[in-house]
Structure 1
């Protein structure tokens, strides 16, 4: 039995990680047995794969401490296995605790012993919390990709995530540019990637097909399979699968980052 390829997708909240992850999973599902583990407290990663929000591990375990796979594993488009870690009630507890509890339960029920080809982790990246480092720290994911746009806070978060990857001696596979239509955006993101010693592995153009798909709780790959946008996600999936360049990043310090960003503005 081959060991699943663990891929962690990090990025600032709201940058489009979940859209990237769900469409990657849909693209991979054509040839691989795929699992998606949503590690964001919003628990919305798998909605477009399953067609609805699924119960989270934390919510399930509040009611049933002895939860089984049937309680937390759901099958989505392309037979992708979907899991959401969930988070605490607003204003109570640690946002990253859901990740810790989720990984413990998945270990207990033997999910990682299944014949999976690819496991994708959708991880929040703008909260400084140990729970969100679990996929890397415990080596569930062997490679990391960061989603960013050319916006200040998105790049700032990407730089901070790089600091965490360096601290954990993780393997950064590259940057995914999820475009917001900013002037010189691709140039900025490519230079950012070079600054930290990495590369851009994919550029996703802004498209109204994303919103049209998500309104119907579907991925672009499922709803508009012949579209250029769907092909973009498939190309990104292939780029990640064939990637051979992994680095321990060298993030910028605050002054260097400010100087870098302002040269484009």
Structure 2
């Protein structure tokens, strides 16, 4: 086990799943194999808390593999159109997995966003708790460059303590064993309509005119075009 599990700051054990070189393999496959390896090593029974930080692409079965062993799923998203579309796909995966596993959605975490209007619109029609919303904080990116956690940096820079409070709030909610929810995702078209209304309502007349002009040019050109 010591060959793949390394101890980091605060005596927290860590595993890096890694992956193949870019364009040369499947990252989801590596995640699935990592889950299998941890199971073979009985790692799931050695810890009180295990946190999987996985890319939110649950169309891939490999990336969704940790959900087979999880009590809760946390969705981390920003306040943007594309991120909430991906979040909705994760919601669909949680609903499907909950049919055969004791999995619940603990909630959603807004990340790197000064606003939460789209997040609020989404959870209004797809009910789930919002555990926390973190603004865009440069020191979090600095911590990654330094190879340290924010908590480690805060030991020497007291001004960073407020950042730790965001994460401690999330941890307190999870350790309280929330009931969680079995969510029901929105249909893609309904979600598109919901989120696009926000963007279109902020479109100026001049921008709209330009869009119509470009459409006329494109339609008269009769271009052969394929997008996959």
Partner of 1:224: 154
Task: Pick one of 114, 125, 130 that aligns with 1:195.
Answer: 125
Instruction: Please give the root-mean-square deviation of Cα atoms over the aligned residues, in Å.
Output: 1.7
Q: Rg bigger for which structure? A: 2
- Give the drift of 1:177: 0.6
Which secondary structure state, in structure 1, belongs to the residue aligned with residue 184 of structure 2? coil
- Give the drift of 1:111: 1.7
Give the length in aligned residue pairs: 191
Partner of 2:86: 157
The runs of at least 4 aligned residues of structure 1 exceeding 3 Å deviation read none
TM-score (norm 2): 0.77
* 1:31-71 deviations in Å (ceiling 9; x for gaps): xxxxxxxxxxxxxxxxxxxxxxxxxxxxxxxxxxxxxx121
What are structure 2's unaligned runs of at least 5 residues? 200-228
- Give the drift of 1:109: 2.1
Asked if residue 254 in structure 1 is aligned to residue 184 in structure 2, the reply is no
- Give the drift of 1:150: 0.8
Which secondary structure state, in structure 2, belongs to the residue aligned with residue 121 of structure 1? coil
Which secondary structure state, in structure 2, belongs to the residue aligned with residue 119 of structure 1? coil
More relative contact order in 1 or in 2 (CA 8 Å, sep 6+)?
1
- Give the drift of 1:245: 3.4
Asked if residue 118 in structure 1 is aligned to residue 49 in structure 2, the reply is yes
Contact 2:59 2:89 in 1 (8 A): no
TM-score (norm 1): 0.67
Structure with greater helix share of residues: 2
Measure the CA separation in 1 of the matches of 2:182 and 2:124: 13
Partner of 2:219: none
Which secondary structure state, in structure 1, belongs to the residue aligned with residue 21 of structure 2? coil
- Give the drift of 1:188: 2.1
- Give the drift of 1:210: 0.8
Measure the CA separation in 2 of the matches of 1:127 and 1:179: 22
Structure with greater strand share of residues: 1
- Give the drift of 1:165: 1.2
